[in-house]
Amino acid sequence: MNLYDLSGSGSDAEKFDQLLSRDGVTIERIISHGQATPEGDWYDQDWDEWVLVISGTAGLLLDGDSEVIHLNPGDSLFLPAHKKHRVEWTDNTQPTIWLAVHINQNN
């Protein structure tokens, strides 16, 4: 798979492609087209996650913070398990391609 291949993605919904899954580690590619976490919702995951923006831009808000973290291509962020967070926005002028590594220590 080519990380930049946008076939099968559209602007109506995010696209999630699992690239690898092994013993507590899952790597996926996410393609966003202006999507954001619904107002008032937060992700609260049971696993650690590391995200990298490959292209496009995004804004993430961590619970307890007042400022949105602006992610550009090449920027990454580590989200420990149960660190509540939300995607405030993704680029609506071009696709935002994420690489997400999910690490579950309980597997």
Cβ atoms 81, 45 nearer than 8 A: yes
Residue 28 CB contacts under 8 Å (≥ 6 apart), including other chains: 16, 17, 18, 19, 99, 100, 102
Q: Domain for residue 39, yes or no?
A: yes
Is there a domain that residue 62 lies in?
A: yes
Grade residue 50 by pLDDT with cuts at 50, 70 and 90.
very high
User: Quick check: is 97 in a domain?
Assistant: yes
**Which pLDDT does position 38 carry in this prediction?**
95
**Residue-wise pLDDT tens digits, 64-94:** 999 999 999 999 999 999 999 999 999 999 9
Residue 92 inside a domain? The answer is yes
Domain membership flag for residue 75: yes
Question: Would you say the pTM of this structure is higher than 0.85?
Answer: yes
For residue 85, give every residue at least 6 positions away whose Cβ sits within 8 Å of its Cβ, in sequence order, or none. 42, 43, 60, 61, 62, 63, 79
Residue 46 is assigned to a structural domain of this protein: yes
CA distance 9 to 29: 12
**Structural domain contains residue 89:** yes
Domain count, the chain: 1
Q: Which domain holds residue 78?
A: 15-103
